[in-house]
Amino acid sequence: MTLGVASRRRASLTAVLCLVVGGCSGPNIGPNVRSGSAAYEVIPAPVGELTAQDYRIGPLDSVDITVFQEGDISSKGVVVDASGDLSMPLIGRIHAGGLTTTQLAEVIRQRLGARFYVNPQVSVVVSSSVSQRITVQGQVTEPGIYPIQGATTLLDAMALAKGETENAALNEVLVIRYVEGKRMAAVFNVARVRRGDDPDPAILARDVVIVGNSNLKKIWHDTLRAAPLFGVFTQF
């Protein structure tokens, strides 16, 4: 065998040994990120049975407002501004941010009924959703920004991105959330969540999910792909 082939084989075998002893990969998570039980203090699991929750209207959403038999005041495509407010004829500005469509319809009904109409019938439908979205990044098949409706968990978020890649570090899945204006982060072990060992944390609108990269898995997969070329697993 030539010296070059022998050198390549030794290099490949060194990579395999590095994989076994785990000495070629460092942590991808910062020291201030919460993990283990402390992670659930920042990103808790759903309380009680996981059921679909009413959609909460957010900034830049659009809504259709219908007042029964009152076409002049009914409006389509009303945009909620960055402050969470919208405007309607007769009653002016209304704060819609954080309300469900049922709650907003009741607010409008009360405002109209107080001065202009007798027992008006109001319905509200979200025609375009911008605020209820999450970002999924890192080692997933299709990173991107995804709309969510109702109850969503970490496993749901990964499924939206078509699952993890072969080099994903399932023990290093980071969730970033702003809590009262403060940026918080927690790391979860998705493998344990899938086995049922740990709860599946709830994911909220505007959360960012980042699936970490496993250097060890990358070395292993690269070595397997290179093995036919270098003859790593053949006798010297």
pTM above 0.85, yes or no: no
SS3 content of the chain, % helix, strand, coil (to 5): 30, 30, 40
- φ, ψ dihedrals at 26, nearest 5°: -110, 170
pLDDT of residue 111: 93
Instruction: Look up residue 222 and give its two tokens.
Output: 């690269």
Give pLDDT tens digits along the chain (236 positions). 454 555 555 555 555 544 444 444 445 566 678 888 889 988 898 776 544 456 788 888 899 999 998 888 899 999 999 889 999 989 999 999 888 899 999 999 999 999 888 899 999 998 888 778 899 999 999 999 998 876 789 999 999 999 988 888 899 999 999 877 788 999 999 999 999 999 999 998 889 999 988 767 666 655 666 666 555 445 44
pLDDT of residue 25: 41
- CATH topology (fold) of 27-51+132-213: Outer membrane lipoprotein wza fold like (3.10.560)
Nearest to 119 by CA among 130, 108, 127: 108
What are the start-end ranges of the E strands in the chain? Answer: 62-67, 75-79, 85-88, 92-95, 122-128, 133-138, 144-147, 168-179, 182-188, 208-213
pLDDT of residue 23: 42
Task: In whole angstroms, give the CA distance from residue 202 to residue 235.
Answer: 51
204 CA to centre of own chain: 7
pLDDT of residue 224: 64
What's at 131, amino acid-wise? S
Task: In whole angstroms, give the CA distance from residue 31 to residue 179.
Answer: 19
Classify residue 196 as left (phi > 0), alpha (psi -120 to 50) or beta. left
pLDDT of residue 127: 86
List where CATH 3.10.560.10 sits in the chain. 27-51+132-213
Indicate the CATH number for domain 62-128. Answer: 3.30.1950.10
Our CA dihedral for 83, 84, 88, 91, rounded to 10 degrees, sits at -80
List where CATH 3.30.1950.10 sits in the chain. 62-128
Nearest to 97 by CA among 115, 79, 73, 111: 79
pLDDT of residue 236: 46
- Angle of the 215-230 helix axis to the 3-21 helix axis, nearest 10: 150
